[in-house]
Structure 1
Amino acid sequence: MPRYEYRCRSCGDVFELSRPMAESGEPAVCPAGHDDTVKLLSAVAVGGSASAPARQGDGGCCGGGCCG
């Protein structure tokens, strides 16, 4: 089940809830009991490295073969 991050406007607490995607926009109550909360946008970091260097001039499309 996805986890969503929320911030309480009353006390400033940031907390997470696990809930179905269909309920992600539903009101959330902070752990202190306040109901004035807002859902935060989560940034997903995608990392990694290239598995192979790009080849040039090998005859592939836009590498010298079909774009001409």
Structure 2
Amino acid sequence: MPTYDYKCEKCGHEFERQLSIAKMNEPTEYPCPCGSCHGTIIKMLAAPAFGDTIKMGMRKPDDGFRDRLKEIKSSHAGSTMNIP
């Protein structure tokens, strides 16, 4: 399923969604998901993620990457980063 990028015209909040082609404009029908500005959402143009198997969901990052994320999190007290 394709991934689409969206942006709020009011606050600049950016997010992405994996949607079918038929539903690609669905997020533009709702206010900004930031919860405070209620701005208008636009669909952004983005290059396809060919070759990025992690972003495409075909494989997960290796354990070394996850271990490095844990090191970074432990060195930043109060971090809210979620490491699966």
* Poorly superposed stretches of 4+, deviation over 6 Å: none
TM-score (normalizing by structure 1): 0.53
Structure 2 counterparts to residues 30-49 of structure 1, below 5 A: 30-33=32-35, 34-44=38-48
Higher helix share: 2
What fraction of aligned residue pairs are identical, expressed as a percent? 43
Go from structure 1 to structure 2 and tell me whether the alpha carbon gap of 1:4 and 1:11 turns closer, same or farther (over 3 Å shift): same
Structure 2: which amino acid aligns with 1:40? M
Q: Is the 8 A contact 1:5 1:14 kept in 2?
A: yes
Q: 1:24 to 1:12 in 2, by over 3 A?
A: same
- TM-score (norm: length of structure 2): 0.44
Q: CA RMSD in A?
A: 2.2
Greater RCO structure (CA 8 Å; 6+ sep): 1
**Does structure 2 retain, via aligned residues, the 8 Å contact 1:15–1:30?**
no
Structure of larger gyration radius: 1
Unaligned runs of 5+ in 1: 48-68
